[in-house]
C-alpha cells in the first residue's frame, strides 16, 4: 500500500471529525476528553498537512468549507471503522456470553437482522440471540425482551432510545398483475385495483387518502400486519402492497405501479432498558444494531 499517502496524523483526523460533528472545538474537546487548545492546534495541523482549509474561521464559530464538507464524508467513514474496531474488540476481550432477546416486527427480523447477526457472530460467537419476531409490543420493563426495534418514539422515561434510519414504504405490485389489470396513470384508475393492507383497513384508508388515493374497504380484500406475508401476497399478484423500498426493489418481478405516490416514512427506534448502560452483552448488541441501522 502507499503508506506515505496516509501520512497525516490520524489523531488529527479524529480531532477534525469530532469538531465537525460536535459543531465547535470546545464541544469536541469535551466529547473527546481533551482540551480546546489541543483540538485547535490539531485541526490547524491537519489543515497544514493536507494543504486544505477545512474550517472557515469566521466570526462566531467554525464553519465547514466546501472542501471540508466533501472530505467529511471520508472522515466519517474512518470514524465508523474506528467504532467497529472498538465494538469488536470489546466483544473479544471480555468473553461475552449469555442470552439477549431482540424484539421486532417479523419484517425487520427477516430483511434486516440476518446480515447484522452474522457480524455479531464474528464479534461474540458465544452469545445466544433470541429473536422475538412479533408485532405485539414486548414489554421491555418486564424483560420480555432486552432490546426492541419499534416504529414510534417510546414514552417511558426508564427506557433508552436511539433513532434509527427511517424506513420508506413504496407501492409495489407484481408485473404480471399489472399486465393483467393495466398500469394505472390516474388516482381514479388506482381505486379500481386490489390492495394488500398492512394495517387495519381504517388506518390504511386514511394513509392513502392523505396521498390523494380515495379508496374504500372494498379495495382491501387482504390485510396482514406481517411484511413477509404482505410481500408474498404481492408477489403472487393479489394486489398492490406497501413494502420497504429496498425489500420491494430486490424482487425483479415487482414494480412500482404508481411512481407519483409519495413514499410513507416510517420512523424506527432502537429501544432498551436503561440497564443496558451497565450490561456488557446487551450494550454490545445494542451498539452493533445501532451501528448498522442508525440514522445517517
Partner DNA sequence: CGACTCCAATACGATATTGCATATTTTTGT
Partner DNA sequence: ACAAAAATATGCAATATCGTATTGGAGTCG
Contact residues for a copy of itself, defined by CB under 8 A:
1-11, 13-14, 18, 21, 31-33, 50-52, 67, 70-71, 74-75, 77-79, 81-90, 92-94, 122-123, 252-253, 287
Given candidates 21, 40, 132, 226, which one binds DNA under the rule CB under 7 A?
40
Given candidates 8, 10, 37, 141, which one binds DNA under the rule CB under 7 A?
37
Residue (89 or 209) nearer to a copy of itself, CB: 89
Which segments within 10-81 are labelled E, that is strand?
55-56, 63-64
Phi, psi torsion values for 56, nearest 5 degrees: -85, 115
- Pick the stretch among 52-60, 118-126, 216-224, 269-277 that binds DNA (CB under 7 A): 52-60
Longest Cα pair distance anywhere in the chain, in angstroms? 69
Question: At closest approach, how far in Å is the CB of 196 from DNA?
Answer: 50
Residue (40 or 83) nearer to a copy of itself, CB: 83
Phi, psi torsion values for 255, nearest 5 degrees: -145, 165
Q: What residue 200 binds from DNA, a copy of itself, none (CB within 5 to 8 A, per partner kind)?
A: none
| 217 touches 205 (CB < 8 A) | yes
Q: What residue 13 binds from DNA, a copy of itself, none (CB within 5 to 8 A, per partner kind)?
A: a copy of itself
Run of H or E including 288: helix 280-293
Give CA angle at 12 (6, 14), nearest 5°. 95
- Pick the stretch among 58-66, 84-92, 142-150, 211-219 that binds DNA (CB under 7 A): 58-66
Closest CA to 145 of 124, 159, 162, 164: 159
- Pick the stretch among 41-49, 66-74, 148-156, 160-168 that binds DNA (CB under 7 A): 41-49
Q: What residue 108 binds from DNA, a copy of itself, none (CB within 5 to 8 A, per partner kind)?
A: none
* The three cell numbers locating residue 238: 393479489
- Per CB under 7 A, 35 contacts DNA: yes
Given candidates 27, 78, 129, 132, which one binds DNA under the rule CB under 7 A?
27
Closest CA to 124 of 90, 101, 165: 90
What Å distances lie between residue 184 and 11, 127, 194, 233, 261, CA to CA? 56, 50, 12, 19, 12
> What span, in angstroms and rounded, lies between the C-alpha atoms of 56 and 44?
11
Q: What residue 3 binds from a copy of itself, DNA, none (CB within 5 to 8 A, per partner kind)?
A: a copy of itself
Site residues, DNA (CB under 7 A): 9, 11, 19, 24-27, 33-38, 40-45, 57, 59-62
Amino acid at each position: 500500500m502507499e503508506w506515505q499517502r496516509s501520512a497525516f496524523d490520524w489523531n488529527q483526523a479524529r480531532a477534525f471529525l469530532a469538531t465537525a460533528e460536535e459543531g465547535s472545538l470546545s464541544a469536541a474537546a469535551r466529547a473527546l476528553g481533551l482540551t480546546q487548545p489541543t483540538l485547535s492546534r490539531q485541526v490547524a495541523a491537519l489543515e497544514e498537512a493536507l494543504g486544505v482549509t477545512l474550517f472557515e474561521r469566521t466570526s462566531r464559530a467554525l464553519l465547514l468549507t466546501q472542501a471540508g464538507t466533501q472530505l467529511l464524508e471520508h472522515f466519517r467513514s474512518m470514524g465508523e471503522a474506528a467504532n467497529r474496531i472498538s465494538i469488536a474488540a470489546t466483544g473479544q476481550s471480555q468473553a461475552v456470553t449469555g442470552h439477549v432477546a431482540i424484539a421486532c416486527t417479523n419484517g425487520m427480523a427477516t430483511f434486516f437482522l440476518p446480515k447484522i447477526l452474522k457480524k455479531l457472530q464474528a464479534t461474540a460467537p458465544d452469545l445466544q440471540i433470541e429473536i422475538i419476531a412479533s408485532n405485539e409490543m414486548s414489554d421491555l420493563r418486564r424483560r420480555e425482551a432486552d432490546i426492541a426495534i419499534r416504529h414510534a418514539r417510546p414514552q417511558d422515561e426508564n427506557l433508552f432510545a436511539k433513532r434509527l434510519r427511517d424506513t420508506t414504504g413504496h407501492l409495489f405490485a407484481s408485473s404480471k398483475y399489472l399486465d393483467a389489470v393495466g398500469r394505472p396513470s390516474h388516482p381514479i384508475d388506482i381505486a379500481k385495483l386490489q390492495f394488500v393492507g398492512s394495517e387495519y383497513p381504517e388506518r390504511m384508508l386514511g394513509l392513502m387518502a392523505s396521498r390523494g388515493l380515495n379508496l374504500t374497504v372494498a379495495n382491501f380484500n387482504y390485510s396482514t400486519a406481517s411484511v413477509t406475508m404482505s410481500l408474498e401476497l404481492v408477489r403472487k399478484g393479489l394486489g398492490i402492497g406497501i413494502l420497504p423500498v429496498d425489500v420491494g426493489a430486490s424482487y425483479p418481478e415487482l414494480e412500482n405501479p404508481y411512481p407519483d405516490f409519495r413514499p410513507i416514512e416510517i420512523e424506527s427506534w432502537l429501544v432498551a432498558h436503561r440497564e443496558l448502560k451497565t450490561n456488557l452483552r446487551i450494550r454490545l448488541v445494542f451498539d452493533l444494531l445501532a451501528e448498522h441501522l442508525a440514522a445517517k
